[in-house]
Amino acid sequence: MSTVITREEAAANARRVLDQARARRDALSIREAAEQAAVGSFQSADEIELTLRRLRRTARIEQVTAPSAPAARAA
């Protein structure tokens, strides 16, 4: 027997599943994430790890140098 749910319930359920998956992903170390990403990939875990570290470093730099939202609105 199937149950019909509203669109809002379906969206909330999907959001919850995505949030849980994102939390699991973010809890991994860079090395673990690279090893998992390398499964079935043409890149090695070492190559993926280097890419992830570079991306994190770039994001950290951009986050520090980006103007805060209130200051950006005032400008």
Q: pLDDT per residue over 4-51, tens digit each?
A: 999 999 999 999 999 999 999 889 999 999 999 999 999 999 999 999
Domain boundaries, the chain: 7-74
**Does the CA dihedral 6-11-14-20 come out positive or negative?**
negative
Q: C-alpha 26: how far from its chain's center?
A: 7
Is the Cβ–Cβ distance between 52 and 33 less than 8 Å? yes
Closest CA to 61 of 70, 51, 71, 53: 53
Show the tokens assigned to 6: 């509203």
Report the C-alpha gap between 16 and 53 in whole angstroms.
Answer: 28
**pTM across the whole model:** 0.60
